[in-house]
Structure 1
Amino acid sequence: MQTTPDQTALAGATSADHRYVNIAAYKFISFDDTEEMRPQFQALCTQLHLKGTILLTPEGINMFLSGLPADIEHYLSWLRSDPRFADIEVKYSYSNEQSHRRMLVRIKKEIITMRMPLIKPELGRAPSVEPATLKRWLDQGHDDAGKPVVMVDTRNDFEVDVGTFDNTVDYRIGKFTEFPAVIEQHKADFAGKTVVTFCTGGIRCEKAAIHMQNIGYDNVYQLEGGILKYFEDVGGDHYTGDCFVFDYRTALNPKLEPTETVQCFACRAVVTPRQQLDPAYVAGTSCPHCADKKTAAQ
């Protein structure tokens, strides 16, 4: 019997000697029964002992879940029984512990807050580039039409500081709602170039690429599946550092393994292994970032 891609990925938990499977997935689709579906999601995830976050919004679903392989498979089978989510694509990683501490199913207005109501990915996406194709473009220094390729990071500044693509454009935004105005101000910088937007898993860069098309960018792509899919498909070529993730692991390396990077419990700043050697770092209490803020306030 031929195995499905999901079954092959789920089997990785055993073959890699890791107990838990972590999945990340989203889909932009009209979803007008979020209130009705929320208790069903919550009940099933509780029954299956899954941990993580599921966002239900009128524009679609976004989820990060962790559980045993059989329980993740059960959940995905149930989710895909709904025709709206039958073709949802999933990214996988593995760990010895569950990547989240609790299970939350939340209803929000948007999958990722952008406050641009005219952007509706369900009605049409911007062109996307697969990780293997992007790697080839970066290897050769240009796209297939000979145009220079410019990477644009759509994530928040603290995420970028953990790791990003080499020579990427980073506008040091503090939240995604700042991106539309910033990228519009710099449109002239990208004339004659191919722009590839990227983010952790694909959501932000999908909205970003559509917005850029709407304001007149001629040649813009989104990285299909984001950094996590790039790591999964081609590894860490042309990428320096790790990828920040919003769970207890804090950051994953290009092998999709947790790193020693942590988040400060007090101020939520990212603390690298080198920074953890600072006397100001006390696990669960403080970090060098906290100390710098206190000094500046004095």
Structure 2
Amino acid sequence: MQRMTASLIGQIEKLVIPRRLQQTGAKLLASRELALSVHPCFPRTALSNYTMMLNAKLPQLGKGLPRTAAVPVVSVVFSSPLGHGSVQQPFVAAEWRCQQRRLLSRRTNFAQQALQDAQPDSPAAASVPAQLVPPTDPNAYCVLNFYHLTPIADPQAAVEEHRAYVERQGLDIRGRIYISSQGMNCQYGGTVADATAYVEWVKQQPGFEGLFYTVWPSEGHAYPKLRLKYKPNLISLAGGMEVMPITDPAARATPLPPNKWKEMVGQAKEKNDMVVLDLRNDYEWDAGHFVGADRPAEEVFAETPVGEGEQEVPQPLQGKDKDTTVLMYCTGGIRCDVYSTFLRKKGFNNLYTLEYGVQNYFRHEGGAHWNGSLFVFDARMAISPNTTESGALPAAVPCSLCGSEPELPHVNCANVDCNELFIACAACKSRLKGCCCEECMSAPRLLRPAKLEGGQYGSWGNYADRDEMGPIMAQGRSHEGRVARRTRRREALKERRLEFLEQKLARKQKERAEGEEAAAPEVSAEKKEEALVGAA
């Protein structure tokens, strides 16, 4: 580290200070002094309360090089207060990141542009959570979530504009960024600087004023790659959501801030005229849920009723008066905002949602009225209600195999044909080699390595037996094209998996029927004969 720092200090003999900083009377320190004291362009009073950001840019590269490599941007963040030597940390991190990205230039001129972020009224400074740690710590990576419902005239063009910005700024962000004619739905991660740079740019686009987002620490990238694309539906729901008036706030439920939600959920336990409605997948409820919320009858949210019939509503609302107070919640808030327009159309009048979802609630109220942990759709798979807590994550249900205390996060069955997401204790996961049942242990093909500590499996192709999967994989090149071949392989895999699940379900039904028959009282021969005579 010392050798690296010395090398770095030798590279920053010329620091480019913006003119506005020069006007403040800040004096440039010699490069060797930079490692020993706080640079005067950062007011000490501001440093004690605000997070500083440095944007480090590489100079223009030589002619003839690819345009995309001409001006890469490296952003680093460090937190205050800073002691002696702390100023060098961002530069060390910047140099390390330059080397990791294999940039074409080794000499770096750093521009310190932190005066705006040092001001108390700076929105940029306020937007970076104070608890996020320096970039030299693994937790400098984060997961950032937001959605915003607003009309977008040309979503396809917006996708290209967003992609161009990410590439132009050299942002290393990964995750899911979906854009439709009704807004955006995003869950992505990266370094705090890269992740917040993108969302702050989005906030400057027409219609995205007031966009709210949450930031969570992460130990590295929580997503394998970036998927920035157009989707007709921001979330999966039967029949789609394009016909729903979700961009009209008046058509949606009334959002409740976390403190008001906490108060009303507490009252719901004692009142019969309130329903706490969980609008997530059933396995998310297993990880954790609000007290008083029933487990969703649908396996996945996409199956939530949207039909015209009177009973085409979630099970907890069937037969309820239309004036019943309905408290809806989901992970980030978008599923509730979308589905509330359907319930409003069905005649329900008193609809309330948890503003920005459970993640936002945890930041303000912790685990009040919450049972278990929160399932999330990234590499973490579960987080604690206490945002500062580490260690074992509690679940809301026992081990699905033996009934003992389980371990989170969920795991997928090691049998790729099954792939069921389940909760189990460490002993059962080890005994069944990561499978959800003994039957899957003896499956005819493809047992993946057991994920005893949870986590996500990679692509099925990483584990596939090439001989067994030959008819599906080794199709060779043809006029179909790459996308068509990939689609055909996926369809073949899907058919094989459905066939296995149907066989598994049939065996379970047969075992259940045999068990019920064995438990039934034995009928004597005389009574059987009497029954036959009576029927005749």
Using structure 2 for the length normalisation, give the TM-score: 0.50
**1:69 corresponds to which residue?**
192
| Residue 261 of structure 1, CA deviation | 0.7
Using a 3 Å threshold, how does the CA distance of structure 1 residues 161 and 262 change in structure 2: closer, same or farther?
closer
AA aligned opposite 1:189:
K
Residue 116 of structure 1 deviates from its aligned partner by 4.5
Deviations 1:177-233 (A, max 9, x none): 432344267442355531111111001111122211111112111111111111122
**Contact 1:243–1:252 (Cα < 8 Å) also in 2:** yes
Q: What does residue 279 of structure 2 align with?
A: 154
The offset of 1:169, in angstroms, is 2.8
In the alignment, the residues of structure 1 paired with residue 208 and residue 437 of structure 2 have an alpha-carbon distance, to the nearest angstrom, of: 42
Aligned position for 1:131: 258
Match of 2:129 in 1: 10
Gaps of 5+ in 1: none
Please tell me whether the aligned partners of residues 147 and 192 of structure 1 are also in contact (alpha carbons under 8 angstroms).
no
Change (3 A) 1:241 1:60: same
How far residue 91 of structure 1 moved from its aligned partner, in angstroms, is 1.5
Residue of structure 2 equivalent to 1:222: 353
For residue 423 of structure 2, what is the aligned residue in structure 1?
272
Match of 2:362 among 211, 226, 231: 231
* 1:33 corresponds to: 154
Q: C-alpha displacement at 1:133, in angstroms?
A: 0.5
- Between 199-208 and 160-169, the greater mean CA deviation after superposition: 160-169
- The change in CA–CA distance for 1:269 and 1:276 in structure 2 (over 3 A counts) is farther
The answer on 1:241 being equivalent to 2:362 is no
**CA shift digits 1:134-192 (9 cap, x unpaired):** 1112334479xx88432101111122221111120333213334323442674423555
Q: Return the structure number with greater strand share.
A: 1
Instruction: Report if aligned partners of 2:128, 2:196 keep a CA contact under 8 Å in 1.
Output: no
Q: For 1:58-102, what per-residue CA distance to the aligned partner results, in whole angstroms no more than 9, with x for missing partners?
A: 111010111111112221222122122232110121112221111
> Deviations for 1:228-254, whole angstroms, at most 9, x for unmatched residues?
111122111111111111111111111
Name the aligned partner's letter for residue 13 of structure 1.
L
Match of 1:83 in 2: 206
Greater shift in the superposed pair: 253-262 or 208-217 = 253-262
Quick one: structure 1 residues 135 and 87, their matched pair in 2 at CA, closer, same or farther if it must change by over 3 Å?
A: same
Answer yes or no: is 1:183 the counterpart of 2:313: yes
The residue type equivalent to 2:145 in the other structure is A
Which stretch shifts more, 43-52 or 177-186? 177-186
- Contact 1:156 1:176 (8 Å CA) reproduced: yes
1:31–1:60: 8 Å Cα contact kept in structure 2? yes
2:247 is paired with a residue whose SS is helix
SS of 2:297's partner is: coil
Name the SS for the 2:339 alignment partner: helix
In structure 2, the CA distance between the partners of 1:126 and 1:139, relative to structure 1 (3 Å rule), is: closer
In angstroms, what is the RMSD of aligned CA positions? 3.0
Q: Report if the CA contact (8 A) 2:141-2:218 is conserved.
A: yes
Question: 2:232 aligned with 1:109, yes or no?
Answer: yes
Equivalent of 1:169 in 294, 319, 336: 294
Cα distance in structure 2, aligned partners of 1:262 and 1:43: 36
Cα distance in 2 for residues equivalent to 1:40 and 1:192? 45
Contact 2:241 2:338 in 1 (8 A): no
Q: Structure 1 pair 55/281, CA: closer, same or farther in 2 (3 Å)? A: farther
1:87 alignment partner AA:
G
Percent pairwise identity: 24
Alpha-carbon distance in structure 1 between the residues aligned to 2:221 and 2:208: 24
User: Equivalent residue for 1:261?
Assistant: 409
Partner of 1:296: 504
Residues 12, 33 of structure 1: CA spacing in aligned structure 2 closer, same or farther, 3 A cutoff? farther
Larger Rg, first or second structure (1 or 2): 2
Q: 1:127·1:220 contact (CA, 8 Å) conserved in 2?
A: yes
Tell me the equivalent position of 1:199. 330
The CA distance in 1 between the partners of 2:314 and 2:264, in whole Å, is 25
For residues 61 and 168 of structure 1, what CA distance do their matches in structure 2 show?
A: 28
Cα shift readout 1:251-297 (whole Å, capped 9, x = no counterpart) = 11112478541432634433436156433554xxx422584695936
